[in-house]
Chains A and B, each alone.
Chain A
Amino acid sequence: MKIVVAVKQVPERDAVVRVAADGRGVDESDVAWTMNEPDAYALEEALQLKERAGEGEVVVLCAGPERVQSTLREALAKGADRAVHVVTPEAGEGSLGERDSLDVARLLAEAVRAEAADLVLTGLQSDDLGAGQTGVVMAELLGVPHATLVLHVELLDGGDGRRIKVKRELEDGWMQHVEMALPALLTIQSGGNRLRYATLMGIKRARQKEMREVQAAAAGKRVDEVVKVSPPTRVKRTEMLTGSADEVAAKLVERLRFEVKVL
């Protein structure tokens, strides 16, 4: 069983994000990068599937400039067998910033096609742009069935029946179980598994693993355009609750439950 996991490199959660000079992106000069979290879960699911099946290959795939190799290495260190890096220019024409979701999906789908994978996994969305498009568009381009918001994948018929059963997360704690045929593409929701930590042995082994670079095709014409990027404006609101102690408590509970949603 061959599984391709498409991952994205995104700024770290705590990164100080500044708007770039042109106002249409973020200034990348001192951003620290990391693997997109849902993609990390997609990788984990792939590794566990391989472990459960007892055989197979996990190939990680990422499009981007030189820097994304650190994320690919991380995936290799955690146990992926091979990496494919679709190389795009750092900036300017053909860079990630100049491409829309459709275009990135095309790049990735092209690389997946060459691999003839049984299963393609990717995070359901990215932590930075959050379009949630890439996975499903790839499925369309590859002409394979897909399922979104997947928490868990089960191999049916001992793994050789070429069928899987997936658990999807619906709203409000509801789950849906769907059987599908392979090949297929799944977009993975965070939290379905426990992630593994990176190990020294993993990193050392990763150095010997293959990292194939393929040049990205020229960018197609964008179907959308980023006009302006701006940081969220924070509004602080103070509201005094009045009434007797009991009334105040009741109001507070209501706010906490329905507005702040912490209860």
Chain B
Amino acid sequence: MIAGAVGMLRVGIELAEPLSFSVTERLLLMALIAASLGVFAWRSWPIASNILHSKKDADFSLRPVGRRAWKFFWEVLCQSKVIRQRPLPGLAHAFVFWGFLAFALVTLNHLAVGFGHGFLQYSGSFGPFYVGFAGIWAVLVAVSISGLFVRRFVVRPKWLGKRVSVESGVIAGLIFVLMVSYLAALFVGDKGFAARGLWWVHTLSLLVFLPLIPRTKHLHLLLSPLTVFLKRPQFSQIPKLEGDEDFGLFAGRDVTQIIALQAYSCVECGRCAEHCPATTTGKVLNPKKIVLEMRSYLNTAGPGSEEPLLDRPGSAMSMEAAFECTTCGACEFQCPVGVQHLSILIGLRRGAVNTGAWEDRYGTKLFLALEKQGNALGMSSIERDKFIAKQEFPIFDGSQEYCLWLGCMGSYDPKGREIVSDFARVMQALGVQFGVLKKEKCTGDPARRLGNDLLFGDLAAQGLKTFAAAKVTKIVTICPHCVRTIATDWLEYGVAPEIEHHSDFMARHAHLLPKQDGGSIVYHDPCYLGRYRDVYDEPRAVVAAAGELVEAERHHERSFCCGAGGGQAFLGEESGERVSHVRAKELIATGAQTIGTACPFCNSMFRDALGAVGGENPPQLLDIAQLVARGLAPRALSSDAEEKSG
């Protein structure tokens, strides 16, 4: 590109510009600029005001600035996410974006010319170079914007929505005219009539473009760099409730500035909905509509409003939708402009649950089970005692290195118990000392995701006390939900001991694991391990030691949810198609002999799904710990699995 520019430079390129402007022309120009800026300000003000008048984010801090700057560089300047997740349109978008940056100087010079102060000199070497450089960008932008235009109006991917957006067409047209008028000026020899005409066309396009920005999705041009820089640093961050009147997102008065900024930044690209397991299986929830509904709430009811956010007439932001979310985080991960759907969705749930507005038979049953029995399955803790005794798990007494945390699934679910037992065998085979707690209560994960702060807070505080009393320093567990909740969500109440998922643990010992020829294994990334914690390679290393690793159509950060998260495992029947069935079919379609999971919830969802859609010969379903245990010599220590076969 640069070589090309230098080549052109030698030819001596110059931009055709009018030599001078009459007084009338200048007055007209000034009037037009003032009008354009005026309309721009008039249309932007209500938005800026809504954002500024929203509630302050009490927990906001610019730190870590370094991380924020890096995200800004990588996601905004390099357009990494846009390109990576949708390569072709992403690249086209990136060209338009970079082109705009390259054009900043040209545009400034262009307007300065109108006042007789053009500063790009064509006699030196920088002027011609830069004009040529911008010319290359103009070509790229013109081609890209035409491509995007064809995509939006001819191909029309369904995620962009049914409505054909006229203003997008107009804006694409304006951008095209801007580029072509610039390029034409490179080829017009004289500085007469043609040059003047082109100059005015370019100027008018610019001045029409500016006021169109605020009330269209092109507002993201201005807001999204800010949004990406300012977004909450953690994935699925759930802000602390402040004071006695904060119950989450109940009414407009609870909407914070960051949420408002994000709502106005949405470009309506539909990536969030395209990847959403609820939307794509025919449920009411559509994360894009939630964001747009939040925006329209701010536009109509206003930031300080007392009107409840949920269930306004005709609103997509409904109670039903909010409680269909699996908190898989695909939306938040995908969003190119930094919208954080989970703080919004979980915020809405908090607003409904903390005030008692959410009434749901299964939800209430779950909460009461957690209140009374301290576990999500509503079993008596005596059942756990019996299981521990039967498996002869050592009790943690402070002398062992690890505390093996069973979690609700590991304690009470039959399949979860098999997984824990097999993982215990792996630890024993590795000679690692561990013990289990005498009593365990749920980490509060389902309560947290469903927005029950009272219950979550109680469970977190009790859990912290239990670990402190037992003098635990290192925890290992089979459940990614426990890891996330203990390591991150509990921080509101205190710092828990270091916790590790068994995939990390086994990957560290990968060289000691038995090498097996266990056939083809397709690995399913659990949301709470992958997108939530960026752990992708470790479980794969474990799988690779047990057999031949196969990838499903969607994997790594694009992995599709099993349908269990966000408390869904405990709520009633889903509407539409079951999420677990969709994913199970995708895993089966790889033809792998075994499905490898790394989360007891995924495992239990697939167990049911395979029964329904697995056909005659469903693949085997095993946790990665079980994959490893397959390669261990059978031991006297019995696991449930052995007992069954024996």
Interface residues of A (CB under 8 A from B): 12-14, 34, 194-204
Contact = CB atoms under 8 A, between A and B. Distances in A.
A203 B454 contact: yes
9 contacts: A13-B380, A14-B373, A14-B381, A34-B372, A195-B368, A197-B371, A198-B367, A198-B371, A201-B354
Contacts of A199: 353-356, 452, 454
Contacts of B355: 199, 201
Contacts of A200: 241, 247, 354, 452-454
B361 interface: yes
B616 interface: no
Contacts of A197: 353, 356, 363-364, 367-368, 371, 452, 455
Interface string B332-365: 0000000000000000000001111000010110
Contacts of A202: 356, 454
A195 B452 CA distance: 16
A14 B354 contact: no
Interface of B: 241, 244, 247, 353-356, 361, 363-364, 367-368, 371-374, 380-382, 452-455
Nearest to B248: A200
Nearest to B354: A200
Q: Which 7 A-B pairs have the closest CB atoms?
A: A197-B367, A200-B354, A200-B454, A199-B356, A201-B355, A14-B381, A200-B453
Nearest to B439: A14
Contacts of A13: 372-373, 380
Contacts of B373: 13-14
Nearest to B355: A201
A201 B363 CA distance: 17
The prevalent SS among residues of A at the interface is: loop
Contacts of A34: 372
Contacts of A14: 373-374, 380-382
A122 to B, nearest CB: 20
A171 to B, nearest CB: 27
B364 A194 contact: yes
Contacts, number: 49
Given A12-B372, A14-B380, A203-B454, A196 B354 contact: no
A201 B247 contact: yes
A209 to B, nearest CB: 14
B454 A198 contact: yes
Contacts of B247: 200-201
Contacts of B374: 14
Given A198-B367, A199-B354, 4 more contacts: A197-B353, A197-B364, A199-B452, A200-B452
B467 to A, nearest CB: 18
Contacts of B361: 194
Most buried by B among A12, A195, A197, A204: A197
A231 to B, nearest CB: 14
A185 to B, nearest CB: 27
A82 B356 CA distance: 19
Nearest to A79: B356
B356 A201 contact: yes
Nearest to A37: B372
A203 B368 CA distance: 15
Contacts of B453: 200
A161 to B, nearest CB: 29
Nearest to B365: A194
Contacts of A194: 361, 364
B472 to A, nearest CB: 20
A203 B453 CA distance: 11
Contact of A196 (B241, B364, B455): B364
A215 to B, nearest CB: 31
Nearest to B373: A14
Contacts of B241: 200
Contacts of B371: 197-198
A194 B359 CA distance: 10
Contacts of B372: 12-13, 34
Nearest to A34: B372
Contacts of A195: 364, 368
Contacts of B356: 196-197, 199, 201-202
B492 to A, nearest CB: 13
Contacts of B381: 14
A196 B454 CA distance: 14
Contacts of A198: 367, 371, 454-455
Contacts of B380: 13-14
A3 B367 CA distance: 27
Contacts of B455: 197-198
A36 to B, nearest CB: 12
A194 B372 CA distance: 15
A89 B569 CA distance: 46
B412 to A, nearest CB: 13
Nearest to B250: A201
A50 B368 CA distance: 22
Contacts of B382: 14
A152 B372 CA distance: 24
A198 B454 CA distance: 8
A199 B455 CA distance: 8
B225 to A, nearest CB: 36
Most buried by A among B356, B363, B380, B455: B356
A202 B247 CA distance: 11
A204 B244 contact: yes
Contacts of B354: 199-201
B235 to A, nearest CB: 24
A203 B381 CA distance: 26
